[in-house]
Chain A
Amino acid sequence: MARQEKKKDVVIVGLGWTGSIAGIELCREGLEIVALERGHDQSTVPNFEYPQQIDELKYGVRLKMMQKPSQQTVTVRRNDGETALPYRSLGSFLPGNGVGGAGTHWNGLNWRPQPEELRLRSYVAENWGEEIIPEGMNLGDYPVSYDEMEPFFTHFEKVAGISGKAGNLNGEIQEGGNPFEGWRSEDYPMPPTATTYDSSKFQEACLAAGYHPFPAPAGIASTAYTNPYGMQMGPCNFCGFCERYGCYQYSKSSPQTAILDALKMQPNFSYRTESEVLRVELAEDGKTATGVTYWDHKAGEEVFQPADIVILSSYQLNNVHLMLLSGLGEAYNPLTGMGTLGKNYAYQMNGGVSMFFKDENFNPFVGHGANGMCIDDFSINQNDFGALGFIGGSYWRSGTFNGQPIRNMPLPKGTPSWGAGWKEGIGEWYGHAMSIGSHGSHMSYANNHLDLDPTYKDKHGRPLMRMTFNWQDNDLKMNQYMKSQMEPLAASLNPDVMQSGFKGLGAQYDVRPYQTTHNTGGHIMSANPTQGAVNKFSQTWKAHNVFAMGAGNFVQNTQYNPTGLVGGLAYHTVNAIRTQYLSNPRPLV
């Protein structure tokens, strides 16, 4: 018999970016709110303090800030004919753990999608015709437009404290910003951070080639800053420990630096850690939820938490898993196209070029996760999909972000991987290399989807979620196009040696090397209940008092890092709850 807690107005499942946003915004409505967090509590002090945080082995390699597969994981197969096997140790992607979630250990790259990306199917149809859409690609439009989203992007950027340079202010192109971005109603809250040597070389090469370089939009403070909640950030000192670490100096945007201390002061908010939600409980009619059942790890017992509103704000994979287990929709069937949960799982298609300069010093340890100069000259709204033979695009970036030597030791091809030659190589080349990265879109396909595994179970006896995923020709062609365009630019810098790393046609998904933690889709937004799991307000079509936030909403992945869209959608959702739902709880679409 589960223990029962006192009923709340709102229960939040997962206290990362979107859970924190929902918490603080709904607190202002006077609602009684409890957040349940599977992991541990963590704050800048004491958890991210100097110098204990500056530990590559513990956090960079042993991944002590991340979700442990022993707690929760998925199985993976590359097609429906393969037997899925557990993702036993972390490699390809790194879901976060504990308060702050992935918003604590991210790099801080905060982009808005291009307007065309939110209506990509229509954009393709209007310009090239639907016949260029490959068989099996579930290309879609988001049910929200860029213009509707703009105020929410702006607000999230103010809360998160983003540094950058606008390229399009209300339709006016700004020198030095990104001319290919969607319009902004205001400039970034902070100016860009300083430009490192590699970035400046990249910038010069881009200008010489006729491209349009601009500073990366960074969730990294360039100056002293106070956000709308009164939370303060201090300027970054380029310590180089962003990705996989908590920031020790209040410089990186995170739920901790931007929201949580303000939220914890609200008398109508409370949170419980080590409280792992097992399922959302539905009312007998199946049209609303009554609350959630969670496992209290401290007490070692199941607890029922009744609530009028349930907000699912855990990591994308965990949200989809919980929805599948709770019957918050039908599982997607790729053969019939029926069902919506698990549909349109997507990822990211990345590549890059490394350049070695034996007489130049890059001090690769001087940097931050969102450092660098970028170009969008090969982005989605710049590519002629019909002529190029793919749908997609990428942004390019060059900037030092971590010179931590266990993981970041680029060596020219042909250098031995061990022995005297390796030792000589690290002495010769460490600090003398720079790179350019291509960060590309990933479309959605019938073949890439999520459901429940028939064999493997978690500690609570629940089936693990099964990921069916492989690289598809469309995105691989896009990647090869980027290679063909990037190599000449890299060569124009006259490096002593250069080498490329881009997946090509036929590449098979390999779970071992780290690729990206931009897992998207699975509870996608849609204009009607047959196409997706939630409506434009992230409200589940199944139960109107359940809202599912985060990158699970993405119809297909964009060419950018997902957090800007995740944050914007979260504010769009809580605005709808505040202004439309609370006064009259019902399906909003």
Chain B
Amino acid sequence: MTDIPGLPSRRSFLKASAAGMALSGLALPASAQNAPAPVPLDQYQPDYLTADEWAFVMAATARLIPSEGDGPGALEARVPVFIDLQLAGDYGTADDWYMEGPHDANAEPARGWQTPLNPAEVYRQAIPAFNAWCEETYQAEFAALEPAQQDEALTALQKGEVGLPAEVRDFFTILLANTKEGYFADPQYGGNFEMQSWVYIGFPGARAAFREWPTRHNVKYPLGPVSISGERA
């Protein structure tokens, strides 16, 4: 659709109509708010992850929060995009953390993060190590396994049974945490696409104004979420 300079555009007309519909009380789904469709996940160009890492993160998050059943899965929520962007940013590089040595990566887990690696490096080193374990155990890397085998492999990873080096032993913990973060964080970070995860559980996002609600006991809050950038769902 091309707009002609100097003339009211067809797009503005559509926008005005949409506003009219809102005023007349018809709720608009977020998809009707002129949001450009995002790049499909299989065409996404990661900022940090390599192609192999991307394939792993896609496959692993799809099992951590699967698509089947009610509510979005990690892929519908675009969690892999969130993880890529986080690893490319100051979380991935642990900018805020104290990373001076000496490091004792074998310290008891209760002593906290003690590996010399930052989260982005943990992903980088753990994924091939875990894939090697999958090759040895199932004769295929993780992304190529059947869902039931993937669940079995992730369970082994969670239980610490795949023999990862101490420096990356927290890989499953951060992978799962990052997956849930991407599922529930504001959509500006790349996940929780169209706030589907918030809609699913009934969290109203950035509404943050409930003056009359404390005393409405045992009444379910009726409105859907808004995002920080003003999307509604």
Q: Contact flags (1/0) for B49-75 with A, using CB distance below 8 Å?
A: 000000000000001111011110100
Q: How many Å lie between the Cα of A73 and that of B98 in the bound state?
A: 7
Q: Which of B154, B208, B215 contacts A50 (CB 8 A)?
A: B208
Q: Which of B73, B97, B111, B181 contacts A61 (CB 8 A)?
A: B181
Q: Are B96 and A366 in contact (CB under 8 A)?
A: no
The stretch that binds B, out of A51-59, A143-151, A173-181, A278-286, is A51-59
Residue of B whose beta carbon sits closest to that of A235: B211
Q: Are B211 and A238 in contact (CB under 8 A)?
A: yes
When distances are taken between beta carbons in the complex, the residues of chain A under 8 Å from B162 are none
Binding site secondary structure of chain B? loop
When distances are taken between beta carbons in the complex, the residues of chain A under 8 Å from B184 are 56, 405-406
Q: Contact flags (1/0) for B141-169 with A, using CB distance below 8 Å?
A: 00000000001001000100000000000
When distances are taken between beta carbons in the complex, the residues of chain A under 8 Å from B214 are 193-196, 238, 366-367, 371
Chain B residues numbered 120-153 whose CB sits less than 8 Å from any CB in chain A: 151
When distances are taken between beta carbons in the complex, the residues of chain B under 8 Å from A371 are 214
- B123: min CB distance to chain A, Å: 16
The stretch that binds A, out of B3-11, B22-30, B40-48, B194-202, is B194-202
Q: Are A237 and B112 in contact (CB under 8 A)?
A: no
Q: Contact flags (1/0) for B80-98 with A, using CB distance below 8 Å?
A: 0000000000010011111
Q: Are B180 and A85 in contact (CB under 8 A)?
A: no
Chain B residues numbered 192-228 whose CB sits less than 8 Å from any CB in chain A: 197-198, 200-206, 208-211, 213-221, 226, 228
Q: Which of A52, A405, A457 neighbours the largest number of chain B CB atoms within 10 Å of its CB?
A: A405
Q: Are B201 and A427 in contact (CB under 8 A)?
A: yes
Q: Are B95 and A70 in contact (CB under 8 A)?
A: yes
Q: How many Å lie between the Cα of A85 and that of B228 in the bound state?
A: 38
Q: Are A510 and B151 in contact (CB under 8 A)?
A: no
Q: How many Å lie between the Cα of A422 and that of B102 in the bound state?
A: 38
Q: Are A51 and B228 in contact (CB under 8 A)?
A: yes
Binding site secondary structure of chain A? loop
Q: Which of A88, A197, A241, A248 contacts B98 (CB 8 A)?
A: A88
The stretch that binds B, out of A120-128, A412-420, A442-450, A553-561, is A412-420
A-B contact count (CB 8 A): 173
- B96: min CB distance to chain A, Å: 4
When distances are taken between beta carbons in the complex, the residues of chain B under 8 Å from A404 are 203
Q: Are A427 and B110 in contact (CB under 8 A)?
A: no
Q: Which of B186, B204, B220 contacts A55 (CB 8 A)?
A: B186
- B212: min CB distance to chain A, Å: 9
- Confirm or deny: A502 has a beta carbon within 8 angstroms of a beta carbon on chain B: no
Residue of B whose beta carbon sits closest to that of A367: B214
Q: Which of B189, B205, B210 neighbours the largest number of chain A CB atoms within 10 Å of its CB?
A: B210
Q: Are B221 and A57 in contact (CB under 8 A)?
A: no
- Confirm or deny: A514 has a beta carbon within 8 angstroms of a beta carbon on chain B: no
Q: Are B114 and A85 in contact (CB under 8 A)?
A: yes
- B24: min CB distance to chain A, Å: 26
Q: Are A406 and B96 in contact (CB under 8 A)?
A: no
- B107: min CB distance to chain A, Å: 6
- Confirm or deny: A529 has a beta carbon within 8 angstroms of a beta carbon on chain B: no
Q: Which of B66, B71, B186, B210 contacts A240 (CB 8 A)?
A: B210
Given contacts A86-B98, A88-B112, A89-B94, contact A366 B221 (CB under 8 A): yes
Q: Are B100 and A86 in contact (CB under 8 A)?
A: yes
- A494: min CB distance to chain B, Å: 14
Q: Are B97 and A405 in contact (CB under 8 A)?
A: no
- Confirm or deny: A68 has a beta carbon within 8 angstroms of a beta carbon on chain B: yes
When distances are taken between beta carbons in the complex, the residues of chain B under 8 Å from A361 are 218-221
A interface residues with partner B (beta carbon < 8 Å): 50-52, 54-57, 61-63, 68-70, 73, 76, 83, 85-89, 91, 193-197, 200, 235, 237-241, 248, 360-363, 365-367, 371, 403-406, 417-420, 422-424, 426-427, 430-431, 455-457, 508-512
Q: Please, could you name 24 A-B residue pairs with CB atoms under 8 Å apart, sorted by A?
A: A50-B206, A51-B208, A68-B95, A70-B97, A70-B99, A83-B104, A85-B104, A85-B114, A87-B112, A88-B97, A88-B99, A89-B97, A235-B211, A238-B213, A239-B209, A363-B210, A363-B219, A403-B203, A404-B203, A419-B65, A423-B69, A424-B69, A424-B70, A427-B70
Given A57-B185, A511-B110, A512-B110, 19 further pairs, Cβ under 8 A: A51-B228, A55-B228, A68-B95, A68-B96, A70-B95, A86-B98, A86-B100, A89-B96, A89-B98, A194-B215, A197-B218, A237-B208, A237-B211, A238-B210, A361-B220, A363-B219, A371-B214, A427-B200, A511-B112
5 shortest interchain CB distances as A-B pairs: A239-B208, A57-B185, A194-B214, A510-B110, A69-B98
